[in-house]
Amino acid sequence: MYARRRRAYFLMMSGCLVLFVSAWAFVRLWSVPAAVAMCVVAMVIPPIAAMVANRRGPDDRWWDDPTGDPQSDEWWDELDGKRRPRHPDDRSDDRPDRPDRSGDQ
């Protein structure tokens, strides 16, 4: 995804430069208002290109990168719907050496 955003940024900024240079290199010889209009369009492109380049997709992790704290990461993953909630009485396979305390002792 990063390559696609980088390519879009490069194309938009290249278009901006082409508009600006062509406006004052040869379009101004035929029409100054057209050259000014081309420069106005070229002026609007860089902020849009920056927004496109910095946009994150739904699969990109950025604000919720793992913190290193397992309990906090598990809590955030549960809120994001990435894992099912763990209950205290849940006997999962991550602790196979835990004895079964189901009642007949």
Q: Which of 10 and 5 is assigned the larger pLDDT?
A: 10
Task: Give tens-digit pLDDT for 64-103.
Answer: 566 677 887 787 778 777 766 566 665 555 555 555 555 5
**pLDDT-derived band of residue 25, with 50, 70 and 90 as boundaries?**
very high
Q: Which of 12 and 63 is assigned the larger pLDDT?
A: 12
CA angle 75, 81, 82 (to 5 degrees): 80
> Measured in whole angstroms, how far is the alpha carbon of residue 96 from the centre of its chain?
39
Task: Give tens-digit pLDDT for 27-63.
Answer: 999 999 999 999 999 999 999 999 988 887 666 655 6
CB 42 within 8 A of CB 23: yes
- Alpha carbon distances (Å) from 56 to 11, 25, 59, 71: 18, 37, 8, 26
Residue 102 burial by Cβ neighbours in a 10 Å radius (0-12, 13-18, 19+): exposed
Task: Give the number of other CB atoms < 10 A from CB of residue 31.
Answer: 12
Contacts of 62 (CB under 8 A, 6+ apart): 56
pTM exceeds 0.75 for this model: no
